[in-house]
Amino acid sequence: MAEKLILDKSNALYKEAWELVPGAVAGIRRPYNFVPGEYPIFFDSAKGGRVTDVDGNEYIDMLCAYGPIIIGHREREIDAAVIAQIKTKGFCMSLTQPYQNELVKKLKQIIPSCEKAAFVKTGSDATSTSVRIARGYTGRTKVLRCGYHGWHDWCVEVKGGIPAKLYEDVSEFHYNDLDGLEVLLKANANDTAAVIVTPVGHPLAHEVQMPKPGFLEGARDLAHRHGAVLIFDEIRSGFRVNLGGAQKEFGVTPDLSVFGKAIANGYELSAVVGKAEIMNMLEQKVFLSSTFFPNSLAQVAALKTIEMLERDAILDTIRERGTKFAKKVSKIITNSGIPCRITGAPWMPFITFDKDETGLYKKLRTEFYTQLIRRKVFLQPYHHGYIAYRHTPKDLNYAAEMIGESLSETKKLM
């Protein structure tokens, strides 16, 4: 039986934060998104594939900052490139530095949909920019969405503070459901500007899904048949599923794509890329500007990250290790007899519990993740994890074994 973690400093900082920050910490990092009282609330440091909280507990970090850490924390080469930029060039100027051009040239080489690109900072920035471009290009209003696309008014799930008129032209369809998409397209005939979809399905708090044969192709064909722009939201899948994104992995090229998270191994950068004709809306018709969008540090980090991904075949290693990890965990789950599953292999592992009418699955989920964090494996009950390059085979074997031990403890509730 693993002991409850000592979290005194974390809890003290959390109590203090309530007097300083609304909700104490930012949304998805609040305790109710984990197991309150069992998970740390403040981290102190990270290195490689591990992270340490303010109480000195060290974990195998399989949440990877919700996805940006593709190689590892505090990567020497990447940080050295950024530090050199700070010391020798600077990074925040009234005009753009040449790294913009260098990075776009690299994206054009590796991303099928990239003829031109524009840089922003967050995934929400990128998805909202892509929708604005699509509306400018088509002269239409309606947007059909599938997946989580950020916190901006048009797409956020929690509607507090947002007038209904700001999202009334946005409709949702389900992943792998072409019939549902077609119904929406017909219902919004001649006024659909964009169909935006995550090419790998990751619905909130639900298992990760891969595209069924023909789904992505069908979404593309339906969008084009109805005169809409097809947008792939590759914020999570980009630079992880494949160097060229899920579009490269699955062989379907959209009109526009958005990338972020792993593009710069933790530095704040995202990109909107696509066909030149559509991207050119940003020349005059569609406005995009920010004081910090041209800052060069994240661009320098992205160039070095991509260099390392290519040079060291990092994504091949992640795929191999992630596949082995998922196979081992899947066997453990089968042998446990507990109604749960692992999805998202080999890139985004997520252990979810099958829903039942009595609600037992909630108790099983809470107990499992309580046992797992006590064993120093950092995963999230309501969000898929990630495999990073610095997760060694030893790390992943340990994580799998601790999943097994946690399931054994959890079964006592059945």
Give the list of residues 6+ apart from residue 338 with CB closer than 8 angstroms, or none: 353, 364, 407, 410, 411, 414
Q: What is the pLDDT of residues 169-193, one digit of tens each?
A: 999 999 999 999 999 999 998 999 9
End-to-end CA distance of the chain: 17
The count of C-alpha atoms lying within 13 angstroms of the C-alpha of 83, restricted to the half-sphere facing its C-beta, is: 7
CA distance 180 to 162: 26
Q: How far apart are CA 61 and CA 69, in angstroms?
A: 10
Is residue 5 within 8 A of residue 40, CB to CB? The reply is: yes
- 257: pLDDT strictly greater than 90: yes
The better pLDDT of the pair 27, 6 is held by 6
In this structure, are residues 13 and 42 in contact, taking their beta carbons and an 8 Å threshold? yes
Q: For the residues of 138-200, what is the DSSP string, one character each?
A: H---EEEEES---SSTTT-S--TT--GGGTTTEEE--TT-HHHHHHHHHHTTT-EEEEEE-SS
Q: Which pLDDT score, from 0 to 100, does residue 101 have?
A: 98
SS3 assignment, position 267: coil
Tell me the two tokens of residue 23. Answer: 């909700």
Query: Which amino acid, one-letter code, is at 54?
Result: V
376: left (phi over 0), alpha (psi -120 to 50) or beta: left
What is the C-alpha to C-alpha distance for residues 35 and 405, in angstroms, rounded to an integer?
Answer: 18
Q: How far apart are CA 89 and CA 156, in angstroms?
A: 38
Q: For residue 321, what pLDDT band results from cuts at 50, 70 and 90?
A: very high
DSSP β-ladder status, 170-172 and 142-146 = parallel
* pLDDT over 90 at 203, yes or no: no
Q: Given pLDDT bands bounded at 50, 70 and 90, which one contains residue 10?
A: very high
Summarised one tens digit per residue, pLDDT across range 233-245 is 999 999 999 999 9
Structural domains of the chain, with CATH? 8-73+314-413 (3.90.1150.10), 76-311 (3.40.640.10)
- pLDDT band for position 350 (50/70/90)? very high
In 3D space, the residue among 149, 167, 114 whose CA is nearest the CA of residue 278 turns out to be 114
> What is the mean predicted confidence (pLDDT) over 343-367?
97
pLDDT tens for each residue of 68-92: 999 999 999 999 999 999 999 999 9
Residue 204: what pLDDT?
A: 83
When pLDDT is averaged across residues 405-412 and rounded to a whole number, the result is 97
User: Which range, of 203-207, 280-284, 337-341, averages the lowest pLDDT?
Assistant: 203-207
Phi-psi region of 100 (alpha: psi -120 to 50; beta: other; left: phi over 0): alpha
Select from 62, 78, 74 the least CA-distant residue to 388.
62
Tokens representing 229? 């722009």
pLDDT of residue 205: 84
* Residue 1 pLDDT level (bands cut at 50, 70, 90): confident
What is the pLDDT, as a whole number, of residue 123? 98
8 Å CB contact between 385 and 379:
yes
CA 85 centroid distance within chain:
27
Nearest-angstrom CA–CA distance, 33 and 63: 13
Provide the mean pLDDT of the chain.
97
